[in-house]
């Protein structure tokens, strides 16, 4: 892993990154920053949300921009108003002391405010396609001097039906600009835009398994469907300062989980696609200002959310695929700070978790949920520490007076115990928690494995069985139905043992022996 110092950034930019807490570049930053700084080609970058794409294009562009140009130099297109605001804020924070102006423009914001800002002269404009077209039609946004055009979350703009708007805007820009297209996925329509509207370009990919940081501790808990909410509450209560996203599969789940959290007294809210833009913006503003510490959301609703310093991402529902998993957990463990990604699985979801783990090329370790006594013990320690801090900082005089009056007629221990009971009885009551039964993951299924060698390679039933026994420490009684054909073979193993064998062959050097891959799974 290279450092930011290795990428060719100026000393002033490095100081800005240090103040923001950035320690190491993400894969997409490592690849695109030198290319933008040192070259002149257009850029196509593929990376998931949460991988630092804004800094990947923002840092080198800011380095190259002249100050006080009094005309628009950079145009950044985003699919949503929320993302426009976030990207504009991030670019502004990255410019350091450089005298450059950055504004977002989007529907729903006062057009008069935008007109005044544009008239004064702006260097970087970030906005949605619809509002950009509005300004172009009014001739209040002049693009003849732009040096850079950036399409951020290009696939999302395509999904939202902005393809024609984006192409219309691109036609209004000068041919000699540099164009940069960033997208989580690369459907044919996206590459068609690149080929039709971009000059010679380089493609940089940071996709499967390249998580935003090595700082993310990935954990899974085995819980029954009925115990997920109780498990969530225990995890939140064990943390001194929980600040995270909880992912659900449907908007119905989002409403249910967020509603139950609010009923229990947590600072929580939900986000899904049925909400108005103004409601969405209010919720995200509360999250950013930490008036909320838990946001429950669907994958679609969370697209484009870029909130810094999240401590946790919790997969309340298992994501659909490895890409979605990487997409979700990329929102924590950023800017050099440690984060935690937690996934709940029911007994029947173990195989899907293994599929996600292999596809994302990452390790997700199993852990046990904290017991009720552990949660209560943690809460007591926190309360004790808080009370000691207040005592050391001299309590207010009114409370001291009440304390003296009570101590005149009662023993100190009894008064303090009564005060704790009065203040924390509900919070420290073990009865407010429901016991969670241990969920037993089903690993009894059998898997049919395909071996890319057969009789013509000198493979026999005994040789294959001995290889499995010796190298993987799998008992012969577990090995079933070996079938050796001319050019390939089959063997059946219990699911757990099959995972051990697959892991062994994955670590072997290519060409050093038979390679085994999964053919199909069956319940037997």
Confidence of residue 134 (pLDDT cuts 50, 70, 90): very high
More confident residue, 283 or 23: 283
**209's torsion region: left (phi>0), alpha (psi -120 to 50) or beta?**
left
**426 — pLDDT class (breaks 50, 70, 90):** low
Contact 27, 341 (CB under 8 A): no
Residue intervals of the chain classified under CATH 3.30.70.330 are 446-522
pLDDT score, position 209:
47
CB 316 within 8 A of CB 298: no
* Per-residue model confidence (pLDDT) at position 147: 95
Mean pLDDT of all residues in 159-173: 88
Least confident of 134-143, 232-241, 382-391, 467-476: 382-391
Q: Among 165-169, 420-424, 480-484, which stretch is predicted with the lowest mean pLDDT?
A: 420-424
Of the candidate ranges 241-250, 364-373, 415-424, the one whose mean pLDDT is the lowest: 415-424
Predicted local distance difference test score (pLDDT) of residue 214: 52
Residues 6+ apart with CB under 8 A from 375: 234, 237, 238, 433
pLDDT band per the 50, 70, 90 thresholds, residue 440: low
Q: CATH 3.40.50.300 region(s) of the chain?
A: 4-206, 216-370
The four Cα atoms 184, 190, 194, 195 give a dihedral, to 10 degrees, of 140
* Least confident stretch, 47-51, 275-279, 467-471: 47-51
Give pLDDT, residue 335.
56
The rounded distance, in Å, linking the Cα atoms of 291 and 284 is 10
User: Which tokens belong to 251?
Assistant: 């908007």
pLDDT in tens, 453-466: 888 888 888 888 88
Is the pLDDT at 424 greater than 70? The verdict is yes
Name the most confidently modeled range: 211-215, 241-245, 442-446: 241-245
4-206 classified as CATH 3.30.70.260: no
User: Over pLDDT 90: what percentage of the chain?
Assistant: 33
452 vs 201: which has the higher pLDDT: 201
What's residue 129's pLDDT? 92
Least confident of 33-47, 190-204, 211-225, 435-449: 435-449
CA torsion, ordered 299, 300, 304, 310, to nearest 10 deg: -20
CATH fourth-level superfamily of 446-522: RRM (RNA recognition motif) domain (3.30.70.330)
Q: What percent of the chain has pLDDT over 70?
A: 89
Give the separation between CA 274 and CA 285, rounded to whole angstroms.
18
What are 282-335's pLDDT values in tens digits?
Answer: 898 899 899 999 999 988 778 767 677 889 999 999 987 777 788 788 788 765
pLDDT band at 522 (very low <50, low <70, confident <90, very high): very low
- pLDDT-based confidence at residue 516 (cuts at 50, 70, 90): low
Identify the residue with better confidence: 201 or 22.
201
Residue 423 has pLDDT above 80, yes or no: no
What average pLDDT does the structure give for the chain?
84
Helix ranges (DSSP H) in 239-365? 251-263, 277-288, 299-302, 322-329, 350-360
- Residue 474 to residues 58, 445, 470, 471, 521: CA-CA distances in angstroms? 53, 16, 8, 8, 19
| Tens of pLDDT, residues 3-14 | 889 999 999 999
Does the structure show a pLDDT above 70 at 198? yes
Strand order in the sheet with 124-127: 102-105, 124-127, 74-77, 148-151, 178-183, 42-47, 201-206
Residues 407/408/411/417 CA torsion (nearest 10 deg):
-30
Instruction: Give the confidence band of 524 by pLDDT, cuts at 50, 70, 90.
Output: very low
Is the domain 216-370 a CATH 3.30.460.20 member? Answer: no
């Amino acid at each position: 892993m290279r450092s930011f110092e290795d990428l060719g950034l100026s000393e002033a930019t490095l100081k800005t990154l240090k103040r923001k807490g950035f320690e190491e570049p993400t894969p997409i930053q490592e690849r695109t920053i030198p290319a933008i700084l040192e070259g002149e080609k257009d850029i196509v970058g593929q990376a998931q949300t949460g991988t630092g794409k804004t800094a990947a294009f923002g840092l080198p562009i800011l380095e190259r921009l002249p100050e006080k140009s009094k005309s628009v130099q950079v145009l950044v297109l985003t699919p949503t108003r929320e993302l426009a605001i976030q990207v504009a804020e991030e670019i502004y924070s990255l410019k350091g002391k450089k005298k450059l102006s950055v504004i977002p423009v989007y529907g729903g914001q006062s057009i008069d405010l935008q007109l005044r800002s544009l008239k004064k002269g702006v260097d970087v404009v970030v906005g949605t396609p619809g509002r950009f077209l509005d300004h172009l039609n009014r001739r209040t946004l002049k693009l003849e001097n732009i040096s850079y055009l950036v399409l951020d979350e290009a696939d999302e703009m395509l999904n939202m039906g902005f393809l024609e708007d984006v192409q219309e805007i691109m036609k209004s820009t000068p041919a000699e600009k540099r164009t940069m297209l960033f997208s989580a996925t690369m459907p044919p329509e996206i590459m068609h835009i690149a080929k039709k509207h971009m000059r010679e370009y380089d493609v940089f990919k940071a996709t499967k398994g390249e998580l935003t940081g090595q700082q993310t501790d990935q954990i899974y808990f085995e819980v029954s469907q009925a115990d997920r909410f109780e498990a969530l509450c225990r995890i939140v209560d064990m943390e001194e300062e929980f600040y995270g996203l909880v992912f659900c599969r449907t908007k119905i789940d989002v409403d249910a989980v967020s509603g139950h959290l609010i009923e229990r007294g947590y600072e929580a809210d939900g986000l899904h696609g049925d909400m108005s833009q103004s409601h969405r913006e209010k919720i995200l503003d509360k999250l950013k200002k930490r008036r909320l510490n838990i946001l429950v959301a669907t994958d679609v609703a969370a697209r484009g959310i870029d909130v810094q310093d999240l401590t946790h991402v919790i997969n309340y529902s298992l994501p659909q695929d490895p890409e979605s998993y990487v997409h979700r957990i990329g929102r924590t463990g950023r800017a050099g700070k440690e984060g935690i990604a937690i996934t709940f699985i029911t007994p029947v979801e173990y195989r899907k978790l293994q599929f996600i783990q292999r596809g994302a090329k990452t390790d997700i370790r199993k852990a046990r949920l904290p017991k009720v006594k552990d949660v209560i013990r943690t809460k007591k320690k926190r309360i004790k520490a808080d009370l000691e801090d207040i005592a050391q900082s001299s309590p207010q005089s009114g409370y001291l007076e009440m304390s003296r009056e009570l101590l005149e007629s009662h023993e100190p221990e009894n008064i303090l115990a009564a005060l704790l009971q009065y203040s924390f009885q509900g919070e420290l009551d073990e009865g407010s928690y429901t016991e969670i039964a241990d969920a037993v993951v089903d690993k009894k299924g059998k898997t049919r494995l395909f071996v890319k060698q057969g009789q013509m390679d000198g493979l026999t039933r005994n040789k294959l069985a001995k290889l499995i026994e010796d190298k993987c420490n799998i008992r012969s009684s577990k090995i079933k139905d070996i079938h050796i054909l001319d050019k390939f073979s089959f063997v059946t193993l219990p699911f757990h043992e099959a995972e051990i064998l697959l892991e062994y062959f994955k670590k072997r050097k290519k060409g050093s022996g038979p390679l085994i891959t999964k053919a199909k799974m069956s319940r037997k």
